[in-house]
Amino acid sequence: MNNLTQSDELFERARVVVPGGIYGHVSPAAGLPRHFPHFCDRAQGCGFVDVDGNEWIDFMCGFGAILHGYNHPEIEESVALQREKGSVFNQPSPVMVELAERLVSSIDFADWAVFAKNGSDLTTWAIRVARESTGSPLVIKAKGAYHGVDSWCDPGHGGRIPEDRASILEFEWNDLEALSVIMSQNEGDIAALILTPYHHAAFAPSELPDPGFWAEVEKLCQRYGILLVLDDVRCGGRLHGGGSHRYFGFTPDLAVYSKALGNGYAISACVGKESYRKASMEVFLTGSCWNDAVAMTAALKSLELSEREGVAEKVLAKGKELTEGLERVAEKFEKNLKMTGPPSMPYPWIEGDENLFEIQKFCQFCAEEGIYFHPHHNWFLGNAHDSESIEKAIHVAGRAFERMSEEERTS
Amino acid sequence: MTEFPQERIVPWAAARSIFGATAVMGELDGMTQKLEPVLLSGDRISIGKNGLVFKQDSLLRAIKSGFSMPELFPMLMNPFSAIKAIITLKRISRFYDPNLNLRESLPVILRAGLETVTVYLNHHSRFNDMFSDFSDELITFNLAGSEPIGWLRRSTEGLFTAGSESAVGNPSVELTFLNKEIAFEGLLRGIDQLGATASGEMMIQGRLPLMDKIGYVSRIAQKEVPQPRL
Ligand SMILES: Cc1ncc(COP(=O)(O)O)c(C=O)c1O
């Protein structure tokens, strides 16, 4: 059992001055509040140390923001050099141009790039570009897909008015027939179809695209003159170095990246085809610290590393080692664990565990031995994971399944 | 379910909470009559099967201020039953007193609250589509180290019901209060749901998105519907 005294004390202080103490996806309420620490002190490679000094092997990578490992020396060195010069100025730094050039050269369909801070900034902007380009109001998304905090798509309930969702239409992931019906029934009124590369909803197993899904989606979008917006915020960098569309073999019109782009420095990017350059210039875009040369430097270095070291392929391979190992030890204890989704971003699902009690117990037991597996969100592999960390995690997982079996036997 | 007149939701939820409280009081003492409400025409609600009929506004006023006149004619027709109902009504308030036996009060005030929430869940137009992703679900409410104190169920058809006797079936969610004081305070005044789960004052196991939604509806209902402390 981990000591969480400092975490709890800090949390009580936070509760006084921050509504709910900690909010959003990192709120303790969304994880295992009595088993995960509330606050982190430092992190290095694939591990972190919480405020009570407990050491963890991490499989969330800052919910995806860390691709090359925490505190990566080469990235931090470039960042330090840029920081000496400054971060935000009246004008952008030359690094903005370099970063845009890098994205345009490494993403096959991209002819231009713009930058912001968060994924949400640019998923919302991208659908507005689509509206500007098509003159149509409606947007289609997959049911249960997360695209950010804005009211057209956030998963919360408060502060919403019916108009927020009035122009959003939804279909079930992989249900091409439903998608085609929505498009034909609203012909001429749809601006964009926004999709993630595969369906990675929280609290549910991930769903890969069925064979032929993306080809049909492309065809339908072309037929109805709808922009295909790829929300690659979460997957970007972990499936393919040139963008996740390459992993699944299709071409979007616009794509949005964030999470792993800056390896922990806040930055997002939207890239697009030439034909949408003009529309993009009509949709106002700016933010207080968006021309942040430090974050842009981090992104530039991170992309360079990804290409140089073939990071997407590596994290997929590391994920395969982890997921196969976990499924193997689960089977030993007669648990039907399925690691769903691509191996670099696996979501754990135990067959028959509809109420999630078992996965919560499993992650609790792993947490007690310093392995940070999230029960409700896809995990993230990073390039700092090595065989040692993966083997240790598999070993601990085996013990967790064993404990679960014992508990079941005795209860 | 959607045709329910929206302007009647608050008084109906308040009336159902009276039913909830009296149902558990009856289970506890084996005597208290369950005051099952009936929705009548002309904005009137009967508390119990006969005798005690209120205009909706009067019912809400009675709950908020402790006194309001019921309709005279039904009372004159069934004076005995009406007076019995009034006495029962008056006995509810003691369960909201923090100085009395909280372990005994908790199932009463929880059930009163759950009945209110089921009205919102079943009839409020704003929440019509909120639970379409769920099927047959059971949420149990517990006190750490003790028997469950109540439950809420959603049927496959989407109808929510509440109860206080032990629930049958596998729960989708188990909500456990750390102790009776926290439970009492939370049920009466609401709980900081993020903070309380983080600190362990309230533990939630299972399908969190279901509880998240139920919690949101509950907080709205709690804000809008007066508790039956008359
Ligand atoms: C698929 C997807 N899109 C958009 C976003 C929103 O990004 P941000 O949190 O940076 O605003 C996220 C964040 O988790 C995401 O996973």
In a domain, B122, yes or no: yes
Question: Does pLDDT of A60 surpass 80?
Answer: yes
In a domain, B1, yes or no: no
Last residue of a domain, one of B47, B69, B96: B96
pLDDT band at A384 (very low <50, low <70, confident <90, very high): very high
Residues B202 and B215 sit within 8 Å (Cβ to Cβ): no
- Please tell me whether residues B107 and B215 are part of one structural domain: yes
pLDDT band at A310 (very low <50, low <70, confident <90, very high): very high
Q: Which residues of A touch B206 (CB under 8 A)?
A: 355-357, 360
In a domain, B14, yes or no: yes
Section B27-46 average pLDDT: 94
Pairing outcome for strands A371-372 and B148-154: unpaired
Q: Is the CB of A148 under 6 A from ligand 1?
A: yes
Q: Is the CB of A120 under 6 A from ligand 1?
A: yes
Q: Is the CB of A378 under 6 A from ligand 1?
A: no
- Please tell me whether residues B48 and B107 are part of one structural domain: no
- Please tell me whether residues B130 and B43 are part of one structural domain: no
pLDDT tens readout for residues A131-141: 999 999 999 99
pLDDT tens readout for residues B163-197: 998 888 999 999 999 999 999 999 999 999 999 99
pLDDT band at A411 (very low <50, low <70, confident <90, very high): confident
CA geometry: angle at A30 spanning A27 and A35, to 5°?
A: 90
Return d(Cα A191, Cα A188) in angstroms, integer: 8
Q: How far is ligand 1, taken at its centre, from the CA of residue A121, in Å?
A: 9
A365 exposed, middle or buried (CB, 10 Å; 0-12, 13-18, 19+)?
A: buried
- Please tell me whether residues B79 and B175 are part of one structural domain: no
Q: Is the CB of A124 under 6 A from ligand 1?
A: no
Cα dihedral B127, B131, B135, B136 sign: negative
In a domain, B229, yes or no: no
- Please tell me whether residues B130 and B66 are part of one structural domain: no
Return d(Cα B5, Cα A239) in angstroms, integer: 52
In a domain, B143, yes or no: yes
Q: How far is ligand 1, taken at its centre, from the CA of residue A233, in Å?
A: 6
What value does the mean pLDDT of chain A take?
A: 97
Q: Is the CB of A236 under 6 A from ligand 1?
A: no
Q: Which residues of B touch A5 (CB under 8 A)?
A: none
Residue B230 has what pLDDT? 67
Q: Whose CA is nearest to atom 16 of ligand 1?
A: A234
- Please tell me whether residues B136 and B203 are part of one structural domain: yes
- Please tell me whether residues B88 and B157 are part of one structural domain: no
- Please tell me whether residues B149 and B128 are part of one structural domain: yes
Q: Which residue has the tokens 């990235």?
A: A75
pLDDT tens readout for residues A208-234: 999 999 999 999 999 999 999 999 999
Complete edge-to-edge strand list for the sheet that includes strand A47-50: A40-44, A47-50, A55-58, A371-372
- Please tell me whether residues B141 and B180 are part of one structural domain: yes
Give how far Cα B216 sits from Cα of A208, A265, A376, Å: 32, 33, 20
pLDDT band at B51 (very low <50, low <70, confident <90, very high): confident
Section B81-87 average pLDDT: 91
- Please tell me whether residues B54 and B151 are part of one structural domain: no
Range with lowest mean pLDDT among A173-182, A258-267, A327-336, B49-58: B49-58
Query: Domain count of chain B?
Result: 2
Range with lowest mean pLDDT among A56-60, A269-273, A377-381, B59-63: B59-63
CATH of domain A5-60+311-410: 3.90.1150.10
pLDDT tens readout for residues B100-150: 888 889 999 999 999 999 999 999 999 988 999 999 999 999 999 988 999
Section A277-293 average pLDDT: 98
Paired tokens of A280:
């993009």
Paired tokens of A20:
């709910």
Q: Whose CA is nearest to atom 8 of ligand 1?
A: A119
Q: How far is ligand 1, taken at its centre, from the CA of residue A172, in Å?
A: 19
- Please tell me whether residues B199 and B121 are part of one structural domain: yes
Do residue A20 and residue B173 have CB atoms under 8 angstroms apart?
A: no
Minimal-distance CA residue of chain A relative to B194: A20
Section A85-89 average pLDDT: 98
In a domain, B52, yes or no: yes
Question: Does pLDDT of A192 surpass 90?
Answer: yes
What value does the mean pLDDT of chain B take?
A: 93
- Full domain range(s) for residue B158: 102-224
Mutate to test the pocket of ligand 1, among A27, A60, A146, A245 (most ligand atoms within 8 A of CB): A146
Last residue of a domain, one of B75, B96, B117: B96
Residue A41, H or E segment:
strand A40-44
Query: What residue segments make up the domains of chain A, in order of their start?
Result: 5-60+311-410, 73-309
Residue B67 has what pLDDT? 78
Q: Is the CB of A233 under 6 A from ligand 1?
A: yes
Q: Which residues of A310-324 are buried (b: 16+ CB within 10 A; e: fewer)?
A: ebbebbbebbbbbbe
Q: Whose CA is nearest to atom 14 of ligand 1?
A: A234
Last residue of a domain, one of B77, B96, B115: B96
Residue B68 has what pLDDT? 82
CATH number, domain of B111, equals 3.30.1050.10
- Please tell me whether residues B27 and B64 are part of one structural domain: yes
Fold of A73-309: Aspartate Aminotransferase; domain 2 (3.40.640)
- Nearest-Cα distance to chain A for B197, in Å, is 6
pLDDT band at B75 (very low <50, low <70, confident <90, very high): confident
Q: How far is ligand 1, taken at its centre, from the CA of residue A149, in Å?
A: 8
B interface mutation test: which of A356, A363, A377 has the most B CBs within 10 A?
A356
Q: Which residues of A touch B208 (CB under 8 A)?
A: 29-30, 203, 356, 376
In a domain, B230, yes or no: no
